[in-house]
Structure 1
């Protein structure tokens, strides 16, 4: 195509220009990520990883084996033995295309042999339903995340609405070698809390492999969160077994970066306990005593697992943050009613909460309460917006980086507080304003764009800017860990490549555009 025609189309046809600009942007960002990985990480031997390059459909070994839901358990067992397979898909009687369930060797062991179930019972009695599926064109990493987040060992592979086979966690492990799933399984097998202590220390090596393979920061932080959540779940389960059942139901809340599923390698504990309102005074005393001991032991064990204490004591071991639901509702109401600097600080930590373990309905009720409060208190959101707008973009008038002039971090900038936090605060404020229940920053931005609250073009630039900074931060911290240096968030711009510095400047400039959106939504008198 002649240059003049191409430029004319760019200028006169919005759809044409949007397509090519989006394509260029994706290639440019991809180039930046590749350079970050190439220059910032040392290759170790033969690292042929395929999690991000191989599609799920490529590892399907054979067509699906199915059996009717009316068939007996014995018939299903004979079929599995004959085909030498560990799972069998269950179809609707008379319709082999309609898959309604799945059975595995584990079902045969736990639901039939262990319980003495009659082998002549229909197989539908022991099947799991519905079947967890994954698209054939999804990457193996997508399948791995789905398995880990849903605690699934088998996924049915779907292509054009039809099941073409089944993949297992073992299939994923074989293509990667050292798989995050192996660590996930190792955590689940632990029978003592002490056995969990060394496992979190294996996470950096897992993440290093993902970065080398090409994982974006959103995938990396999600993987870290899944592994951390699994360690927490196992730890608290074992602690409950040790201490006995609690007097009332409760939920262990995760807050801050944990609540947003945005942990990196430097993440302090930010947690709390919310428990059901006691029915009487005695139950109240029992609950207070139980959860006080429970929180103290849990926090001590988490420290041994490698999760440092919060310097501000925003943890469940602090009696103030271990309270019944009604008290938490009062806290939130007070913070929203009279916002001052301390209450606004609470918002940046507590309002990103999510359920980590226990009765999630308690967290859901508190989230609903928060939404009702902020809907009635527009002034509170205005205070949050003004605090966000008070932050300064770390660029000078001539687009030079604003760095520390002296001290321990001379000629460095804090990528977390100066660069990433403005994006997190922006997403939180709009999430509260429009009652978006997601806590993750990228997920919040996605919902805001999908509901046309955020312009699609700005949404794309915001995501790119956020992920670019997170990539810098994660690789910086990983290199520090491998050099036996305590990880921090201080980046030296002079040590970046020219492309990285250009991308970082562009990322910082997006902050001004986000501030412009806030000024439009929350105009000052």
Structure 2
């Protein structure tokens, strides 16, 4: 074996998915690998290029992957040493959907797909790695949180939000498929298929699948006269069958059908053809499954007539979140899906109140605030809202406000019945203090922002995270105008908000141990909400107001935006965004496990790996704290 191939095999064995192969296998592959030298800014492939016959591994340098969206180039990912990219030709037939370009002088290894494919077919770890990489287009499926919002362009299935669901969904399929053995006569089998109204039959040996016959096989092989009708089924069956586990998701099933160019998958006990047949998944099952995407759930929400119907859909959302987390769906995706469904539920709750009370006497906006306003509510935590109605003449004010207080009361009661607890601090549209006219709200925001220390017991920073759930967009826009006008050069306000953001207790002690609760019902547990998540949320809000980032409320998305606004500190922001997703996942898992708000983590129940992961997610907070102190020249903490 030549020394170059040996050197390449040595390099590859350190990185996934090649670490799942033996050195002999890698050496065999390495002899066919091409070494490609790329100068800085050199493009390897771009959007709409015909697919190459190879995929790539970065040997040295950095390759950026980008797409053009809304006529702007958006960086999706940076691939560094050992990372794979350009795996589209494995799974798709259409052209590239992104551009790969060298950010600096780079060397990449081109691995011919024809050579590599057999190793994928025989090694489920390698296949899973590639499927996941392709499906979520991250640098590394083990690090799925690297996903970039909705720009998942190296995937044929993603077309915006509606299909994000495909990673969450389990499939319904035929669990009692027709079976036959290899010596059966085609004529008899055709008779069985016709009588059962089924278009496929699995050929088994001892109940293990060895082939499948579909209508297509009958048409192309029997009807054309290639084989007589008296032939045995083993002559015309498609073999081998592609087998999957029982809990396969919609997206995984789609990827496999595409990859192997088949229309049916055979479900077996252990996912291999060496175990019993449990069912058959057809292309039609995939089409039906698509129907339960968020769009369909949202349509169902719009038809709901009572809180208990809405509660059933909210329970389905909880199941969906549970499944998604188990399947390692990127948390940023789960936020997108959950927030759309939560928002639709709130909107319908307001509509039901209006149907009951009659038309509102004035235009208004119902705003979700806090975690709902930030699109970060995965668990059934409490509800936070404000109600703003347009200005009316003084003689009408009392009557109009009475109507909206009733509307607020009805809506918050409905949401409580659905499972969203009432806010313990009373931050809800049903509270006379938080249900008032636009002018009164403008005065409220003016007072909070221009004399922040004077009524600080009343200012809650969650009022700066809001999302319209129902009503007039113009009302929300007016509030935003007031907020950003007041924020401009408002040293006092940023001093107050900055100090408030730094007031949370540190998550780790001086000796890098977790600071846990000293007493009370959660003694020795870690308060992940107050000590870890809130400082990131508060920091993101602070910078959003400072950079005038409008229309992005989600903490993760905010941090990503700051990296663009302030590239000098991009790394800190991106690390904080990743940390936020990791911490949110810990909290959600805790909440789902104990049917709680997930606020307190029992560290004893975490594996050492998870404890380390949690600890490393706390690291960027120190840098964020320093950045806040220097950026806002904070008096109290300087």
Normalising by the smaller structure, the TM-score range is 0.5 to 0.7
The alpha-carbon deviation at position 143 of structure 1 amounts to 4.0
**Does residue 521 in structure 1 map to residue 623 in structure 2?**
no
1:417-460 deviations in Å (ceiling 9; x for gaps)? 11111110111011111111122111211221112256222222
SS of equivalent residue, structure 2 residue 513? coil
Of 455, 471, 478, the match for 2:585: 471
- Please give the alpha-carbon distance, in whole angstroms, between the structure 2 residues aligned to 1:325 and 1:357: 15
Partner of 2:357: 243
Shift of 1:139: 4.4
SS of 1:346's equivalent in the other structure is coil
Higher alpha-carbon deviation: 285-294 or 172-181: 172-181
1:199-348 paired onto structure 2 within 5 Å? 199-278=313-392, 280-340=393-453, 343=456, 346-348=459-461
Shift of 1:55: 6.1
Are 1:508 and 2:618 counterparts? Answer: yes
Is the partner of 1:301 in helix, strand or coil?
helix
Distance 1:455-1:524 versus aligned 2 partners, 3 A rule: closer
Displacement of 1:412 after TM fit? 0.9
- 2:561 matched to which residue of 1? 447
Paired residue for 1:137? Answer: 155
Residues 204-260 of structure 1: CA deviation (Å, up to 9, x unaligned): 111112222321222222222111111111222232233222111000011011111
CA distance in 2 between partners of 1:454 and 1:274 (Å): 39
Counterpart CA distance in 2 for 1:26 and 1:220 is 28
Counterpart contact for 1:374–1:380, Cα < 8 Å:
yes
Structure 1 match to 2:23: none
Matches within 5 A, 1:367-406: 367-406=480-519
Partner Cα separation in structure 1 for residue 132 and residue 355 of structure 2: 39
Residues 170-228 of structure 1: CA distance to partner in whole angstroms, max 9, x if unpaired? 99763468654543332122244553243322221111122223212222222221111
Q: How far has the Cα of 1:263 moved from its partner?
A: 0.5
Per the alignment, residue 543 of structure 2 pairs with 430
Q: How far does residue 396 in structure 1 lie from its aligned partner after superposition? A: 1.8
Quick check: 2:307–2:417 contact (8 Å CA) kept in 1? no
Would you say the 8 A contact 2:134–2:154 is kept in 1? no
Q: TM-score, normalising length from structure 2?
A: 0.56
Matched, 1:361 2:459: no
Residues 319 and 313 of structure 1: is their aligned pair in 2 closer, same or farther, counting only changes over 3 Å? same
Greater Cα shift, 398-407 or 409-418: 398-407
SS in 2 for 1:390: coil
- Equivalent residue of 1:343, what SS? coil
Per the TM alignment, residue 277 of structure 1 is displaced from its structure 2 partner at its CA by: 0.6
Cα separation, 2, equivalents of 1:208 and 1:399: 31
Structure number, greater radius of gyration: 2
State the 1:331 CA deviation: 0.5
Deviation of residue 265 (structure 1)?
A: 1.1
Bigger fraction of residues in helix: 1
Aligned-pair distance for 1:347?
3.8
Q: Map of 1:18-167 to 2, 5 A cutoff?
A: 137=155, 139-140=157-158, 142-144=160-162
**Cα distance 1:282–1:315, how it changes in 2: closer, same or farther (>3 A)?**
same
- Alpha carbon RMSD of aligned pairs, Å? 3.5
Q: Kindly provide the CA deviation profile for residues 29-51 of structure 1, in whole angstroms up to 9, marking residues without a partner as x.
A: xxxxxxxxxxxxxxxxxxx9xx9
- What secondary structure, in the 3-state scheme, does the structure 2 residue paired with 1:230 have? helix
SS in 2 for 1:198: helix
Structure 2: 5+ residue stretches without partners = 1-6, 15-39, 41-57, 65-76, 84-127, 137-150, 167-283
Distance 1:521 1:506, change over 3 A: same
- The reply on whether 1:490 has 2:604 as its aligned counterpart is no
Q: What corresponds to 1:40 in structure 2?
A: none
Query: Which of structures 1 and 2 has the larger relative contact order (alpha carbons within 8 angstroms, sep 6+)?
Result: 1
